[in-house]
Amino acid sequence: MVSAQKKQLVQGLINDIKQNPIIGVVNLQNLPAQQLQKMRSMLKSKGVKLAMARKNLLLRSLSESGKKNIAQLSEKVKGMPALLFTKENPFALSALIEKNKSEAPAKAGQEAPKDIIVKAGPTNFAPGPIISELAAVGIKTKVDAGKLAILVDTKVAKEGDIISAKLAETLKRLDIKPMEIGLNLVAVWENGLVFDSKHLHIDEAEYFNNITKAASWAFNLAVEAAYPSKETAEVLLQKAFREAKAVGVEGAVITEETREEILARSEREALSVKKEADL
């Protein structure tokens, strides 16, 4: 028999699902209670509601909401799930969550949130037992100037792998913190489409660089194609002047702009003839 309290909770969740254009699924597993309270407060200040309930109640609420393709979002519910409700777009929601995460060392038994790469380069370790410890997790080393150096970038765990005690200890010694403390966004629903979290992550620096490159390439193409615009007009006029002047100099057409170069060229040619004739 379903209690009235549970029915009320499910109905409230259904109303939230229906009233919000963006529904996210997060996994709260391994998130400390203190951090959870900070995240809940931060999200509330940004107009995002965090709803926690037992997994079966969340799944029931999603199923009974009648939203288009909501079953695809239900498939993403895992771990210790919760739902997010917002009117922001999925990319803004993902960026908000990512910016409020902090680094943490890995612990044995945790799931790697992404590929864990140990970069090549020098270390502060002197040769000793550490060589075999690094080799045990696939890291190749050599001795360089009395210290160990990692030979090549090494992927010590793939996304989703369970981190062993040996790997966790090695990463700790290398001061590598692959884990992130914060909400783990799993997926987001918008207008019948479900986006996995990895598809929502945007490297803002890379995005800015790509826009800068695209603008530069577009400008160069417009100049090469002689496409006149407010941005290209000055450069096109300068280019046309240089090319017209070069034609004038080559054809020995005397003008105020070409005469100095034509006379200088004539002088060079005359001197060259004089030198060859030994005059």
Tell me, yes or no, whether 32 and 51 share the same domain: yes
For 213, the domain range is: 208-277
pLDDT band at residue 2 using 50, 70 and 90 as cut-offs:
low
- Residue 123 included in any domain: yes
State phi, psi for 29 to the nearest 5 degrees.
-60, 135
Could you tell me the CA-to-CA distances from 17 to 55, 70, 87 in Å, in that order?
A: 15, 10, 11
Tell me, yes or no, whether 86 and 55 share the same domain: yes
Q: 207-251, pLDDT tens digit by residue?
A: 788 899 999 999 999 989 989 999 989 998 998 888 888 888 888
The DSSP bridge partners found for residue 85 are: 23, 49
What's the chain's average pLDDT? 88
Tell me, yes or no, whether 36 and 81 share the same domain: yes
Helix (H) or strand (E) holding 181: strand 179-181
Give ∠ CA 104-80-184 in degrees, rounded to 5.
40
Alpha helices for 67-109 (secondary structure H): 70-74, 90-99
- Residue 192 included in any domain: yes
Tokens of 237: 């006029």
Tell me, yes or no, whether 52 and 63 share the same domain: yes
Q: How far apart are CA 241 and CA 247, in angstroms?
A: 10
Q: 147-185, pLDDT tens digit by residue?
A: 989 999 999 999 889 999 999 999 999 999 998 888 889
- Residue 125 included in any domain: yes
- Residue 107 included in any domain: no
- Cα end-to-end span (Å), the chain: 119
Tell me, yes or no, whether 21 and 132 share the same domain: no
Tell me, yes or no, whether 55 and 192 share the same domain: yes
- Residue 61 included in any domain: yes
Tell me, yes or no, whether 94 and 189 share the same domain: yes
Tell me, yes or no, whether 25 and 96 share the same domain: yes
CATH number where 154 lies: 3.90.105.20
Q: How far apart are CA 167 and CA 107, in angstroms?
A: 9
Tell me, yes or no, whether 80 and 190 share the same domain: yes
- Residue 34 included in any domain: yes
State phi, psi for 143 to the nearest 5 degrees.
-90, 125
Specify the pLDDT at position 86.
94
CA-derived radius of gyration, the chain: 32
Tell me, yes or no, whether 136 and 217 share the same domain: no
Residue 205 above 80 pLDDT?
no
Tell me the three state secondary structure of residue 101: coil
DSSP string, 151-186: -S-EEEE-TTPBPPHHHHHHHHHTT---EEES-EEE
Tell me, yes or no, whether 20 and 47 share the same domain: yes
